[in-house]
Amino acid sequence: MAAANGGDSKGFEVPKLEIKFTKLFINGRFVDAVSGKTFETRDPRTGEVIAKIAEGDKADIDLAVKAAREAFDHGPWPRMSGFARGRILHKFADLVEQHVEELAALDTVDAGKLFAMGKLVDIPGGANLLRYYAGAADKVHGETLKMARPCHGYTLKEPVGVVGHIVPWNYPTTMFFFKASPALAAGCTMVVKPAEQTPLSALFYAHLAKLAGVPDGVLNVVPGFGPTAGAAISSHMDIDKVSFTGSTEVGRLVMEAAAKSNLKPVSLELGGKSPVIVFDDADLDTAVNLVHMASYTNKGEICVAGSRIYVQEGIYDAFVKKATEMAKKSVVGDPFNPRVHQGPQIDKEQYEKILKYIDIGKREGATLVTGGKPCGDNGYYIEPTIFTDVKEEMSIAQEEIFGPVMALMKFKTVEEAIQKANSTRYGLAAGIVTKNIDVANTVSRSIRAGAIWINCYFGFDPDVPFGGYKMSGFGKDMGMDALEKYLHTKAVVTPLYNTPWL
């Protein structure tokens, strides 16, 4: 295992970073919380405080919703053409691209994400989502209906209204734009609550949105905690829809609060325990590389992490050997170091949770092949970990760990692989590695999950809808499906008199 922090700090430069935005963004202005309270956001590389952030609670959510409601009911955003909204979203994307380095650095210090990946993937990906929905904004249309009566009928697609977005900490930029981009394109106004662990980039995006020409009140950002700010969004009587990404447990609370308040619709992208199935005919090196990526990308803090790995018995032993060698070569350390493959876990709580699951795995009888220990003198670093001899009923095979832990299991037949893959309460994603198209077709249609990736993983794209089955939630992000969830369908009917045709 390479040294934590990537060896010594020579050979790479940590960019100087000024934290420019720490207040709530409501109605086009940065303001203090009504209570005057702040909270600390910490750098997971060291555990040190980065900045003190205004702490929004119910009173601040009320102000943000009031601004969003005024902007929706009386402002220009839902009333301007889709083409005009699209031009503003393109300008927003331009501004994001102009600040790639600074935004990537914010997500690195706030979330422990690899700086190089932020510059290459996360921040440009956010701009790409804005551009995709900018192009869709003027293509929202209903249908002309062919009625059986002498009437003219048609449907209108209308923005749902004020949306509450509750964003997780593992992909602060990606998730911000998963939610805000289609809602903005649809003509909605919104209140965004970023995770308390990672508020910095969301506040910067609020600033860029204003520079791009998004009218005041349309996009409000209120950092705060789930039980206060998040609960206020979920139960607010003047919010028309909630979009939440996070744990299944909190998703239940969001849905319950939405039902008990004004029966607002919700979309939930929740937990996962995604299987990757490797068949005997797979190229071994390709399969090992793909599974390594699936398990350890973003230090395993990703809802679709390939954390249950099923390998067919003919190549199982060779796979374990190569996967272990690769995990041992992985460099864990400072995410600003371009030689590093894996940064720190998000915070002390998550770090301790992962280590607890590793202990549980050992106690339940799984074999720890490599990793399983903290590394480094400070910060929240954990070695890439592999377990073998894992049974389906074990906690590490059933519960979402959200860390760099791979559980390896063996199977014999296609039917057994399908049964094992489906033996989970989750259904977010799955991977299949095989050269046999018939096997790929059979398995992809048999696994109950919202995304199936064949001979690849993380097959995300702005045009590809993403969302889960079962207790992984419902509702789609990305693609035109995501735009639809921020639109109501209204039917309009008028009688026809003396018409030559119906």
What's the one-letter identity of residue 263? L
CA triplet 334, 207, 137: central angle to 5 degrees?
105
CA 279/CA 35 separation, integer angstroms: 58
Beta strands in 38-92 (DSSP E): 38-43, 48-54
> Is the Cβ–Cβ distance between 93 and 127 less than 8 Å?
yes
- Determine whether 269 is an active site residue: yes
Name the one residue in this structure whose structure tokens are 């010594």.
8
> Is the Cβ–Cβ distance between 346 and 111 less than 8 Å?
yes
Name the one residue in this structure whose structure tokens are 């067919």.
312
Tokens of 64: 């943000």
How many other CB atoms sit within 10 Å of the CB of residue 11? 10
What are φ and ψ of residue 80, in 5° steps? -80, 160
CA 379/CA 309 separation, integer angstroms: 29
CA 418/CA 413 separation, integer angstroms: 9
> Is the Cβ–Cβ distance between 300 and 403 less than 8 Å?
yes
What's the one-letter identity of residue 62? D
> Is the Cβ–Cβ distance between 389 and 368 less than 8 Å?
no
Give the active site residue among 55, 269, 301, 383.
269
Catalytic positions, written as ranges? 269
